[in-house]
A and B are shown apart, each in its own frame.
Chain A
């Protein structure tokens, strides 16, 4: 009887060790899979986006088609330091764009926190910049933007919070970055339907990705896509 008891205890002990080892190796596999999923863009070249429908266009960089495709036009805005920011600032840079306002009572804070993750990931990489446009430029003066930048740890050489002519910002947002989801409602310059989308812009000023600025996996994908874009050109 005693021998059976000891055998039973030993068996249960080995079973526990076996299950523990098996479980921990499974967890490692799952973790590896998760990391793998975020390590690649899964395509040779990221697609191009050229209108508000955001239908992916698959083309090769440097092709004739790519050269004639929709590009972000030049602009002149002012950042949190009072410096003039134009397309020249983004020459030979990959940049991430969003639209926000400092008095936003809700999701802007989460968007800003997620943008901070992009800033952190590329803080030592001069090829990558961030451009956040205020959609309330009359309220968001340079000093207001500076206070916001200081509060959220915005690095001046990496992340430009910009204000400027309202019509210019709204035209950029609606007609060039296509960030506004108007859902069929006609809009004037006084209206803006603010959304959480982040856009990825390549060195040739083409839109190469649209991401949900509130979604953690979307932000991880954006980080991966920036790295892919860096290898592309």
Chain B
């Protein structure tokens, strides 16, 4: 119950949601789809 938060090592918030009345409100960190660089899909990070 209440606010649930988690951070990455770089201090960026990773999880931030509130559990209330049996459901979750807010952000459960989504998985990224594809990173785009200049509209090109970047499939792997150098």
The answer on a CB contact under 8 Å between B32 and A210 is no
The answer on a CB contact under 8 Å between A210 and B33 is no
Q: Is B1 close to A, CB under 8 A? A: no
Q: Is A17 close to B, CB under 8 A? A: no
**Which residues in A have their C-beta under 8 angstroms from that of B35?**
191-194
The answer on a CB contact under 8 Å between B27 and A53 is yes
Contacts A42-B22, A54-B16, A107-B33 hold; do A184 and B27 have CB atoms under 8 A apart?
no
What 0/1 readout, one digit per residue, does chain B (2-22) give for beta carbons within 8 Å of chain A? Answer: 010000101111101110111
The answer on a CB contact under 8 Å between B36 and A192 is yes
Q: Is A49 close to B, CB under 8 A? A: yes
Other-chain contact of B31, A53, A138, A195 (Cβ < 8 Å) = A195
Interface size class of A (residues with CB under 8 A): 35 or more
The answer on a CB contact under 8 Å between A195 and B32 is yes
**A138 and chain B: residue at smallest CB distance:** B39
Within 8 A of B (CB), among A91-146: 101, 103-108, 135-136, 138-139
A107 vs B41: C-alpha distance when bound (angstroms): 13
Other-chain contact of A47, B25, B33, B36 (Cβ < 8 Å) = B25
A174 vs B36: C-alpha distance when bound (angstroms): 14
Q: Is A221 close to B, CB under 8 A? A: yes
**B7 and chain A: residue at smallest CB distance:** A184
Q: Is A212 close to B, CB under 8 A? A: yes
**Which residues in A have their C-beta under 8 angstroms from that of B20?**
42-43, 56
A46 vs B21: C-alpha distance when bound (angstroms): 12
Q: Is A39 close to B, CB under 8 A? A: no
Min CB gap A101→B, angstroms: 8
The answer on a CB contact under 8 Å between B34 and A104 is yes
**Which residues in A have their C-beta under 8 angstroms from that of B11?**
184
Which residues in A have some Cβ–Cβ distance to B below 8 Å?
37, 41-43, 46-47, 49, 53-56, 101, 103-108, 135-136, 138-139, 166, 181-184, 190-197, 209-210, 212, 221
Q: Which A-B residue pairs are the 3 nearest by beta carbons?
A: A184-B12, A54-B27, A42-B21
What are 20 contact pairs spanning A and B, CB under 8 A? A42-B23, A53-B16, A56-B18, A56-B20, A106-B33, A138-B39, A183-B14, A184-B11, A184-B12, A190-B39, A191-B36, A191-B37, A192-B36, A193-B33, A194-B36, A195-B30, A195-B33, A196-B31, A210-B26, A212-B30
Beyond contacts A135-B36, A181-B29: 20 other A-B pairs, Cβ-Cβ < 8 A, are A41-B23, A42-B21, A43-B21, A47-B26, A49-B26, A56-B20, A56-B26, A103-B41, A107-B33, A135-B39, A136-B39, A138-B39, A190-B37, A191-B35, A191-B36, A194-B36, A195-B30, A195-B33, A196-B30, A210-B26
